[in-house]
Structure 1
């Protein structure tokens, strides 16, 4: 399920969606904010270009919106339903969650977006 060749592996590790051999990002840590968007141009193993077209990753904004909603709903349910905080504190926790997880949401949305268009190829070595 999370092994090499699965979309989830590439999404959660940020590895090349075609070969899963290396990270797409120059810095694997999304919390180094100065390099959050810095990516390799191509994969050094399978030569896959990550920016398929100019402004390719603008589409990841739509995915980011959905992930933000999911994190917000989770924060609300945890704070209001499970912990019993009032609505004011629950909504403050939503804001805190979004700020805290913003770098992770941004990276995950890019990873999901590129995995929609590029698929794992177990025979990538033969095609070079």
Structure 2
């Protein structure tokens, strides 16, 4: 069940603990000027996102895993449907990685947050009742 909470948080850019507040200041991941800008804490449950300096260095490992998964998907797709030569495969893969970088950065940070902070339904309900 935890995987669904992680996917929700990741797809909708929401706080991993309450699923109410936004993690990133801008919704568009392709706004390259503000690609890394995050809120310091959740506006609903006051969760501080960066526990310590360098907290998101661990997200680089998650990003590596996402890129490896993307390579596997690209390789299988290429072999089954495209049948490109080696140069075409490399160019296509590199182009797709460049397009996926902003999403990968956000997803890896959100997944990393979900490793340390799990969803608390009672906290989400509490913040909803305070908002009414």
Q: Mapping of 1:14-93 within 5 angstroms?
A: 14-93=13-92
The gaps in structure 2 that reach 5 residues or longer are none
SS in 2 for 1:40: coil
Distance 2:71 2:104 in 1: 12
Q: Is the 8 A contact 1:42 1:49 kept in 2?
A: yes
Distance 1:81 1:90 in 2: 13
Displacement of 1:87 in angstroms is 2.0
Partner residue in 2 for 1:98: 97
Displacement of 1:41 in angstroms is 0.7
Runs of 4+ in 1 over 3 A off after TM superposition: none
SS in 2 for 1:123: helix
Instruction: Report the structure, 1 or 2, having the larger helix content.
Output: 2
Return 47-56 or 76-85, whichever deviates more. 76-85
Displacement of 1:85 in angstroms is 1.3
Distance 1:73 1:90 in 2: 12
TM-score (normalizing by structure 2): 0.87
SS in 2 for 1:6: helix
Return 117-126 or 18-27, whichever deviates more. 117-126
Displacement of 1:56 in angstroms is 0.5
SS in 2 for 1:44: coil
The gaps in structure 1 that reach 5 residues or longer are none
Partner residue in 2 for 1:120: 119
Aligned length: 125
